[in-house]
Structures are given as structure tokens and as C-alpha cells.
Chains A and B, each alone.
Chain A
Amino acid sequence: MNRTLRVVIVAVTVVVAIVLVNLVPAAESPSTRAKADDLSFYQTSGATTPYPLTSEKEVRNVILCIGDGMSSGQIALASAKVGAKLHIERMPVTGLVQTRSANSRVTDSAAAATALATGVKTKNGMIGTAPNGQAYRSILELAKAAGMATGLVATSTITHATPASFGAHVRSRSSENAIAEQLLANRVNVLLGGGRKFFLPRSDRDSARKDNRDLIAEARQAGYMYVTSEQELRSTQHPYVLGLFQLGALTTEPPEPSLSTLAHEAIRLLRQAGQTAPTSNSGFFLMIEGSQIDSACHEHNARRAIRQTLLFDQAVQAVIDFALQDGHTLVIVTADHETGGLSLSRADEKNPDTQVRWSTKGHTGSPVPIGALGPGAAIFAGTQDNTDIPSKTAQLLNIRPFPQLAQ
């Protein structure tokens, strides 16, 4: 092959690559794009002032809201799209969170959520354990041991890395069969999300299990109410609820309950469970994850990133509405890591695809924001490590020692 021919081949390859890369957004189906553009679910308040601080000291309930892959770029993009401040942006106490894991400047969700749950740094991919595999009790497990009701809500499978780190201990995030078993064995009061396939026996055609354990039947026998629709969720009064609304991750489209509805219903159920607990006023611990901001940013899909951020913000609004009314609820809003290296560039506000720049297909090691509201919120101000968040929460709940090895 002569030199001229080689140059031509390389040039053609480069052109084809550029064309293909630029075709990626156009490869989205029209219906998918229309859904991503439909933001009618989101109502802005028009308010710009921070939510009020409180002088109340007693923390009875803790609600930790995690936007997977969400940092200031994702928030700013969504805020620009709706032309108003998000609820996340109105938290009265704010700071930054450093996110590195035990073995990498760039964390994954498993190591980050393990830090947020147990106060211990671990290697990427590990769930609820130190790098040597030793399990540490999560803030959720310790809250439960202290008599509080507990809940996990996610738009991913409920066995995915973030919710898993609060109620399971495995060496690999891919061990979702074992995670499903441990979430139930841990008697988490409210489990709402996707991932039914990890609870079905292998004999079921939709199963992703490697054995024939029917975890839904086991959950029922253990006293859980099992629900699969918004109507069933809204009508249950049970202190233990397993809500699995899809085989895999949620679609985040109707007729599924929205993340905001899941948050609202989880709070209702946990309040009821707390009131019927052996100790009165025992309160609850709830983790809510907007799981799919991360996916949108891995795909460099700005429209979907906006929609997922607004769905998460809508859930945060439901949490704040409850907390302000309750007066004894600490709300923490943060992220596990940033995804995509998203930054705002050209100011074409009608077209988010041209408004953003992405610096990576993966995660970044940039710090993520934290906002807090309610009693004890002030100690989350400033820059902190992700392991500090459960440590400070444990301090406010009088849980000692923390971190704590599992027996």
C-alpha cells in the first residue's frame, strides 16, 4: 500500500468517526427524545431565597438524598433549563464533599456509597466492606439497631450499588443476588425501586437469580407487604413494604410512581412504622437515590440529564416539605461522584445538547456539593470527606462508636 493510499484511508476513517459521533444524539428515537423534553411534571416555585434554618436541636429523622453522578454542572444545567432555582439550590447550609475511594482518585458508586453509609473508604466495586473485605455496619443498620425505622428508595434496581451499600456487605457490586437476600434479612422497613428479577426464582423466565429461591415469597413469609404499582403502594399501611416496580431499573415514566411519589410514600410508611415501634418517637432513617443522572451523563445525553436531575429535585422538594412541617427531620442532599465532567459553555438555552461540554465518558474526581436543612444541619457546612457525612449523622443520633465493625 503506498503512502498516499494510507493517508486517504486514515482521513476517511477520521471523517467517518466524526460523523458517527455527531450522529449519536440523532440516533435517539423521536419518542425517547419527546419524553426527555417533557418537563411538565416539574413545577418551579419561583422562590430564590434559601429555606429557613432552625434552632431546633433534636434530630428524630434523617433523610439522605443522593443524586448519582450529580454535581454543580448538572444542577446548573437543569436550573438554566427551567429558568429558576432548584430546591437543591435553596438548602440553607451548603458545602463540598471530597469523593476519592481507597484505591482511586475517581470513585465508583459502590465505594462512594460505602463511604456515605459506613464511614469507611473502600476499593471501587466493593459494597459495605473495608478493602480487606471486613464488613462495617452502615448508618442505616445502626439506626435500626437504635430502634429507628429504615428505608431505601432508588430509581435503579434496589440491589444496585448505592442502596446496596446501606443494607448489604459483599465484595462485588455485581453480587445482586446476595444483596437482595441481605436487604431482606436486614429487615429494612421500606424497600422501593426496581430489580424484581433478582428476587424471582431461576425457574421464572424473568429471573436473574442463579438459584431457585423465591425472595418475594420469602419476604411475604417474613411479614413484608409486596407491591408493584403506585395504587398498591398508596393503599398499604404495612410497617414492612417491598415495592418492586420493574424487573430491572425503573423507566421513570408513568404509570410507574415517580421518585417524588416514592419518597412521599416512604416517609408516610416510615412515620407509621416509627409510631408502632417498641420505643415511641423512635424516628426513621431514609436514603433516597436519583439513580439515573449517572446513566444520562455516561451517555452524554444533556436532555436526559436535565430530566433526571429535575425528577430528583422534585423528590427533594417532597422531602423538604415534610421536614419543614415536622421540625425534627435532618435532610442531607449530596452526590456520590460527578459523571461526565459536565460544564456549561455556549449559551444556547433552547438546545441543551450544544450548551454543555463533556470532558470524559466516565466519572471525575471533582468534589460534589452538599446541602443540609433541619436540626444539626450546620455541621455539614464547609468542605468535608464523604466518610464525614455518616460520622456526623451518627453523632447527631448519638450512635457510638462510628465507624463500627460488623460482628
Chain B
Amino acid sequence: MSARETIVRVDATYDLRVRVGDPVHRGDRISDAPAQHAFAPVSGVVKSIQFDPQNHEFVIAILPTA
């Protein structure tokens, strides 16, 4: 994980609205999850999406734009 990446965790019950490589803007909805963490905290590009089975969450890494 790059130090510049911003990590967002969202409940994996719900579908994602982003895929790897997608550009996102701060405040964009990135998941259908009904929670405050379903929005992009920064503008950038989605660098990776991993499933965390223990916490049943998607771990989304966003590389912020300069």
C-alpha cells in the first residue's frame, strides 16, 4: 500500500459503484451501502479493491489526484 493511498472500507453486502481504474470525486457514492462510509473521502483514481472476508468488507484504495 502506498503512503499516498486513501483506504475506504465498505460493507460487502452491497454492490460497489466503482471498479479498479475508475476516477472518483470527493463525495461520490462508491457503494450502495446505506452508510456514511459509502462515499469517496477524496478525489482520485480507484487503485485496488480487495475483499476482506473476516470483516466482510471491501477495502478500496483510492490514489488521490495531485
Residues of A within 8 A of B (CB): 13-14, 16-21, 24, 104, 106-109, 124-125, 156-157, 160-161, 173-174, 248-249, 292, 294-295, 298-299, 360-363
Contact B56 A161 (CB under 8 A): yes
- Please classify how large the interface on chain B is, using the bins under 10, 10 to 19, 20 to 34, 35 or more: 20 to 34
46-63 of chain B: CB within 8 A of chain A: 49, 51, 53-56, 58
User: Which of B25-66 touch A at CB < 8 Å?
Assistant: 32, 34, 45, 49, 51, 53-56, 58
Interface residues in B1-33 (C-beta closer than 8 Å to A):
11-16, 19-23, 32
Q: Which of B14, B20, B22, B53 contacts A156 (CB 8 A)?
A: B53
Measured between beta carbons, the chain A residues less than 8 angstroms from B32 are 362
Complex: A106 Cα to B32 Cα, angstroms: 11
Residues of B within 8 A of A160 (CB): 54
Contacts of A21 in B (CB 8 A): 19-21
Assess whether B13 is in contact with A362, with CB atoms less than 8 Å apart. Answer: yes
* Contact call A298/B22, Cβ cutoff below 8 A: no
> SS class of chain B's interface: helix, strand, loop or mixed?
loop
Contact A107 B13, beta carbon cutoff 8 Å: yes
On whether the beta carbons of A108 and B55 are closer than 8 Å, the reply is no
> Which B residues are CB-close (under 8 A) to A292?
53
Minimum Cβ distance to chain B for residue A132 (Å): 18
Determine if A106 and B22 form an interchain contact, defined as CB atoms under 8 angstroms apart.
no
| B45 contacts across to A, CB distance below 8 A | 13
Question: Using Cβ atoms and an 8 Å threshold, which residues of chain A touch B20?
Answer: 17, 20-21, 24
In the assembled complex, which residues on chain B have CB atoms less than 8 Å from the CB atom of A17? Answer: 19-22
Hey, which chain A residues are within 8 Å of B55, CB to CB? 174
Question: A13 and B21 in contact (CB under 8 A), knowing A361-B12, A362-B12, A362-B32?
Answer: yes
A104 to B13, CA, bound (A): 10
Tell whether, in the assembled complex, residue B54 and residue A108 are in contact, meaning their CB atoms are under 8 Å apart: no
Partner of B14, one of A294, A299, A362: A362
- Contacts A/B (CB < 8 Å), 14 sampled: A13-B22, A17-B22, A20-B20, A20-B21, A21-B19, A104-B34, A108-B11, A124-B13, A125-B11, A295-B51, A299-B51, A360-B15, A361-B58, A362-B15
Contacts of B23 in A (CB 8 A): 13
> Known contacts A161-B56, A248-B54, A249-B53; is A16 also within 8 Å of B21 by CB?
yes
Q: Provide the bound-state CA to CA distance between A248 and B54, in Å.
A: 8
CB-contact partner of A361 in B15, B21, B56, under 8 A: B15
User: Which residues of chain B are within 8 angstroms of A294 by Cβ–Cβ distance?
Assistant: 53
Say yes or no: B21 contacts A108, CB within 8 Å: no
